[in-house]
Amino acid sequence: MTSTVYFTPVSERTSVSAVQQISKALLDTLVSAEQIELRQKIPLKVHFGEPKNVTFIRPDNYQGIIDYLAERGVESCFMETSVLYGGQRYKKELHAQTAKKHGFTQLPIVFADGEHGEAFADVAINQKHFKTFKVGQAFLDYDQMIVLSHFKGHMLAGFGGAIKQLSMGYAAKGGKLAMHMGEKPHIKNRRCTQCKKCLSCCNVDALRIGEGKSGRSWIEKEKCVGCGACVAICPSKAVSLFTLKSVARFLGIGNPFVEKLVEGAYAARKHQHNIYITFAMSISAGCDCEARKMKPVMADMGVFAATDPVAIDKACFDMAEALGKKFRRAKKTFSYAEEIGLGSCDYQLKRIDAPSFSDAVDAGM
């Protein structure tokens, strides 16, 4: 099946207000052309950017999309999950502060995986690596989202766009843990103060704190479902994910990360009929999760819109390649995504020119 990807070019000289108009017009075009029935409530899946990162997509770029929904009486919010470990986005409280500092104040914010990753749903997918996959619970309250992605490089995935935003972006801590490491956490007794804060977040009673003759703390591996909530809640950093094996897996050694990423996206999209809008601007070598200042590695390309997460990523990837920038690991991502039915690599790029927004099927890129 051929998917249509709508695209308007932008450059570093394009103003933020022009980007707002472009993304609003692209959304309007997509909704009309694909006859999308908008729901009463449509959250925006975003990434708030790690502190010190300067290349994440700033929220003022999304104002046109926010206005479009408001004009149609659609209720919205920003929706996100917290990261696995470390940084300023690993639990709701800190993550919300980061979002506010980065200017995400136009809409209410919902953390789909709760305070520290305890709110998740196991979505049955029955795929090669995952029979079920843990996504943030609140995503299941909606059957339509607008998934806003930043096209850029990514250390493990090779590149990040709609597939990564769906997969890693929807995953609760347990989903991220399974994708990255495939291991359950353990307690470092030299750090554990036996404060018992972690007990409140474990839904399966797997934590043993100061028990037995030894008075030590441990996690019952048979009970633990690997949700990762105790990692985030522990004030003493006593719950660790890291073993030699898990670190190797985190670095992609002996871990089919790309296939797992695609399966995570499949789980996330399973109950949803989403709209994907990707901003291929400030294209950095690394992810928006990286707490460092990066420079763009290529010129801005534009804003893309589609209903197919695979087609929109393929269109971004192909355009970058045509402009001389090849991101790694894409072949496997796209072939596996097609194989399990996440979407189609076969797409037609339809260019919507700014500012007149006259339709023209793109022939040059």
Binding site for ligand SF4 (CB under 6 A): 184-185, 187, 192-198, 201-202, 204, 206-207, 209, 217, 219, 224-230, 234, 236, 238-239
Whichever of 239 and 311 has its CB closer to ligand SF4, that residue is 239
Q: Residue 343's closest CA among 331, 351, 334?
A: 334
Shortest distance, position 194 Cβ to ligand SF4, whole Å: 5
Whichever of 5 and 231 has its CB closer to ligand SF4, that residue is 231
Whichever of 178 and 277 has its CB closer to ligand SF4, that residue is 178
- How far apart (Å, rounded) are the C-alpha atoms in residues 195 and 356? 62
Structure tokens at 285: 């070598």
Shortest distance, position 86 Cβ to ligand SF4, whole Å: 16
In the numeric block, the tokens 């996504």 are attached to 135
Q: Residue 178's closest CA among 244, 266, 249?
A: 249
Shortest distance, position 132 Cβ to ligand SF4, whole Å: 14
Shortest distance, position 3 Cβ to ligand SF4, whole Å: 38
Whichever of 231 and 349 has its CB closer to ligand SF4, that residue is 231
Whichever of 82 and 274 has its CB closer to ligand SF4, that residue is 82
Structure tokens at 133: 């996959």
- How far apart (Å, rounded) are the C-alpha atoms in residues 132 and 137? 14
Shortest distance, position 201 Cβ to ligand SF4, whole Å: 5
- How far apart (Å, rounded) are the C-alpha atoms in residues 182 and 134? 13
Shortest distance, position 64 Cβ to ligand SF4, whole Å: 40
Shortest distance, position 115 Cβ to ligand SF4, whole Å: 12
Structure tokens at 141: 């309250």
- How far apart (Å, rounded) are the C-alpha atoms in residues 46 and 77? 10
- 292 burial (CB, 10 Å; 0-12 / 13-18 / 19+) is exposed
Q: Which amino acid is at 81?
A: T
Shortest distance, position 260 Cβ to ligand SF4, whole Å: 18
Q: 65: phi > 0 → left, psi -120 to 50 → alpha, else beta; which? A: alpha
Whichever of 196 and 326 has its CB closer to ligand SF4, that residue is 196
Pairing of strands 302-306, 3-9: antiparallel
Q: Is 230 helix (H, G, I), strand (E, B) or coil?
A: helix
Whichever of 146 and 238 has its CB closer to ligand SF4, that residue is 238
Q: 28: phi > 0 → left, psi -120 to 50 → alpha, else beta; which? A: alpha
Q: Dihedral angle at the C-alpha atoms of 157, 158, 163, 166, nearest 10 degrees?
A: 50
Whichever of 221 and 326 has its CB closer to ligand SF4, that residue is 221
